A and B are shown apart, each in its own frame.
Chain A
Amino acid sequence: MHEVSIALSMVNELARIAKENNAKYISAVNLRIGRSSGIVIDSLKFAFDAIKLENPLISSAEIVIEEVPLRYECNDCKISFETDYIHFPSCPDCKSYSLKLLSGDEMDIVNMELEV
């Protein structure tokens, strides 16, 4: 349910930036959410679409979310690979658990499109 708090604070932040830019409306907002960020994309969309209705500046904004895959580099054999195994991933080649996260923990607002 943290998605509701996150959506609330996102709407406030978007409204602030839109006002700074003298926008009439926000038409779209683009996010990048990693596979292992712990954010449920459908819940975040649902919360955003409910909360945005309270603010005319944002009420017509479309939320576009790019899901970023979980990628690691193996510290032992140096190969990089993609996985869906969030909890205890290991290298598919040498089975090592010593891994460096390359992507997958993102929870970022990338940009937004405004009508000015």
Chain B
Amino acid sequence: MCDTCGCENSHEHPLHSPLTKGEVKTVEINQSLLKANEDAASHNREHFDSNGIFTLNLISSPGSGKTTLLEKTAEALKDEFSLGVLEGDIETDLDAERIRKKGVPAVQLTTGGACHLDSVLIHKGMHELEHQLNGKKMDILFIENVGNLVCPSFFNLGEHVRVVLVSVPEGPDKPIKYPKAFKTSHVFIITKSDLLPYFDFDIEKVKKDALSLNPDLKIFVISATTGDGMGEWFTFLRNKLKSPPPLRGGD
């Protein structure tokens, strides 16, 4: 009988038996813990650049209005540009269905529990989306990340522009509570601005906090319900499409 665990056969127990006798060797690695994702992100980015696809990654808490923003953007721009959407959620394809109803191809990526999208999932989703497009070129790809302001900010998906959204009812402290999301984004959209009269949301302070974390953030204040501020968002997208490839993040 095995002395360590009492089972029938004698066998090796790497968990509690020593790693003895062999030669010990130290292997220098010196690489980022995120290397696997970064490698896949570079691959995605090359694909976006060589096919002239301007890609945005939208991150926010659940319920900030990411899908609604995409629905309104689809209505406004789908005749002007060829759009595609990758929808990240833990479960269901409700969001992809909402986008498809607007006449825009969408692929649902369900993570089955994971709280963020990674570059390998995006790679798979892209192939599915291109299958749906059936040879038609894509101008803009929107990636709607899983609703979460923490984990998605760690995972580069190869996007050109990262967009962080906060809705007025969520309160004004999101930038200082989730600094990484704001430090790693290029665009900050404050949504549901039509609700400003009903909430204690000091918009100038929120902007100031976000800019202290990241002075290069481009800020939009929008209401998808009234349409306020949406024009500036569309203009931003149109201007981005004018810049020659490879497209870059930032202003």
Do A111 and B28 touch (CB < 8 A)? yes
B residues 17-72 near A (Cβ < 8 Å) are 19, 22-37
A-side residues, CB < 8 A to B, are 1-2, 4-6, 9-10, 12-13, 17-18, 21, 23-25, 27, 31, 38-39, 53, 56, 59-60, 86-88, 97, 107-116
Of A108, A111, A112, the residue contacting B32 (CB under 8 A) is: A108
Known A27-B19, A88-B212, A115-B19: A9·B33 in contact at CB below 8 Å: yes
Do B14 and A59 touch (CB < 8 A)? yes
Task: List 27 A-B pairs, Cβ < 8 Å.
Answer: A2-B151, A2-B154, A5-B114, A10-B33, A12-B36, A13-B31, A13-B36, A17-B27, A38-B150, A38-B153, A56-B14, A60-B14, A60-B19, A86-B179, A87-B213, A107-B32, A107-B34, A109-B31, A111-B26, A111-B29, A111-B30, A112-B26, A112-B27, A113-B24, A114-B27, A115-B22, A116-B24
Of B15, B24, B115, the residue contacting A115 (CB under 8 A) is: B24
Known A2-B150, A6-B34, A38-B153: A87·B179 in contact at CB below 8 Å: yes
Do B36 and A109 touch (CB < 8 A)? no
- How far is the CB of B20 from the nearest CB of chain A, in Å? 8
Give 6 closest A-B pairs by Cβ, nearest first: A115-B22, A2-B151, A9-B36, A60-B14, A109-B29, A115-B19
CA distance A10 to B151 in the complex (A): 16
CA distance A59 to B13 in the complex (A): 10
CA distance A115 to B115 in the complex (A): 36
Tell me, yes or no, whether B240 is within 8 Å of chain A by CB.
Answer: no
Tell me, yes or no, whether B77 is within 8 Å of chain A by CB.
Answer: no
Do A87 and B176 touch (CB < 8 A)? yes
CA distance A39 to B19 in the complex (A): 30
Do B23 and A116 touch (CB < 8 A)? yes
B-side residues, CB < 8 A to A, are 14-15, 19, 22-37, 114-116, 118, 150-151, 153-155, 176, 179-180, 212-213
Other A-B contacts than A1-B114, A111-B29, 7 sampled, CB-CB below 8 A, are: A5-B116, A10-B33, A13-B35, A13-B36, A17-B27, A87-B213, A113-B26
A-B Cβ contacts below 8 A, count: 103
CA distance A37 to B138 in the complex (A): 35
Do B19 and A25 touch (CB < 8 A)? yes
- How far is the CB of B102 from the nearest CB of chain A, in Å? 31
- How far is the CB of B16 from the nearest CB of chain A, in Å? 8
Do B24 and A24 touch (CB < 8 A)? no
Known A2-B151, A27-B19, A87-B213: A110·B28 in contact at CB below 8 Å: yes
Residues of B within 8 A of A17 (CB): 27, 29
Known A2-B150, A31-B33: A116·B115 in contact at CB below 8 Å: no
Residues of A within 8 A of B14 (CB): 25, 56, 59-60
